[in-house]
């Protein structure tokens, strides 16, 4: 039986200026999307990161109270490598993140404050590649982000945000979900691939705590996916995204 080559990817439109990345945990951007962020900041775009949790339940041998601040510091260092100087932490509880109105409201608030053209999140589908089960926080974070982008644009949803001086923001053109099995778009990260690896490597305590060899070696892990995605774009290294358009086709 011959294996069918995965279909080519459509390049992500880069005619925009600001992006807000909203993910569940420190390191979620670094497992695939950070090299694309490095490319975008290199083009002069502004990218802001928001972590819904501080990843405090992510290291088995470390108490969450000590782990949280450590992982926040690692995320700030990691973001700086790819040209991101603003990292916000929403301090929802790691590992037990719930999709729901409080989460949607907190993300809608972020969207109204930062007024991005593009929102980036991680895979919110049930699996990676149709096989490996996705983690519950990622699913909640991605779904809530998608919904909160709409909420941010509706004056009458979470209207307490108006009381905070935050007017509706309808300017988000599309959402990009990294690591999605429905990824049909891609970014050429050949020039910034090494920055993506360096960005993941900043999660030192987290990587040291992993017992899985493949995940804990940043270059090795990103190399395989980067090449595979690159081949679908006709370049050396690529980063794939599911693109959800929030505007009707012109």
Task: Summarize as ranges the residues that interact with Zn ion (CB under 5 A).
Answer: 25, 28
| Angle of CA points 172, 165, 169, to nearest 5° | 10
* Residue number with CB closer to Zn ion (28 or 72): 28
CB 24 within 8 A of CB 144: no
* Residue number with CB closer to Zn ion (18 or 135): 135
* Residue number with CB closer to Zn ion (33 or 233): 33
SS3 annotation, 124-173: CCCEECCCEECCHHHHHHHHHHHHHHHHHHCCCCCCHHHHCCCCCCCCCC
Supply the minimum distance, in Å, between the C-beta of residue 24 and Zn ion: 5
Supply the minimum distance, in Å, between the C-beta of residue 215 and Zn ion: 11
CB 95 within 8 A of CB 137: yes
Task: Using the CB atoms, write b or e for 34-48: b if 16+ within 10 Å.
Answer: bbbbbbbbeeebbbb
Supply the minimum distance, in Å, between the C-beta of residue 159 and Zn ion: 32
* Residue number with CB closer to Zn ion (28 or 106): 28
Q: Which residue is nearest to Zn ion (CB)?
A: 25
Supply the minimum distance, in Å, between the C-beta of residue 131 and Zn ion: 18
């Amino acid at each position: 039986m011959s294996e069918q080559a995965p279909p080519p990817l459509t390049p992500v439109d880069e005619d925009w200026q600001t992006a807000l990345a909203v993910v569940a945990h420190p390191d979620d951007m670094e497992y695939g999307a950070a090299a694309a962020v490095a490319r975008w900041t290199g083009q002069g775009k502004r990218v802001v990161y928001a972590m819904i949790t501080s990843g405090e339940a992510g290291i088995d041998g470390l108490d969450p109270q000590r782990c949280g601040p450590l992982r926040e510091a690692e995320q700030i260092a990691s973001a700086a490598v790819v040209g991101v100087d603003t990292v916000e932490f929403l301090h929802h509880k790691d590992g037990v993140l719930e999709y729901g109105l409080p989460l949607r409201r907190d993300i809608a608030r972020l969207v109204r404050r930062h007024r991005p053209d593009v929102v980036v999140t991680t895979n919110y589908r049930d699996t990676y590649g149709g096989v490996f089960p996705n983690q519950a926080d990622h699913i909640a974070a991605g779904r809530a982000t998608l919904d909160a982008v709409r909420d941010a644009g509706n004056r009458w949803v979470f209207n307490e945000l108006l009381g905070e001086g935050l007017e509706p923001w309808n300017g988000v053109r599309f959402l990009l979900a990294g690591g999605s099995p429905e990824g049909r778009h891609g970014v050429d990260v050949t020039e910034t691939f090494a920055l993506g690896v360096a960005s993941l490597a900043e999660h030192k305590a987290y990587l040291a705590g992993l017992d899985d060899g493949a995940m804990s070696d940043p270059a090795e892990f990103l190399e395989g996916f980067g090449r595979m995605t690159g081949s679908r774009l006709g370049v050396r290294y690529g980063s794939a995204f599911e693109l959800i358009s929030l505007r009707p086709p012109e």
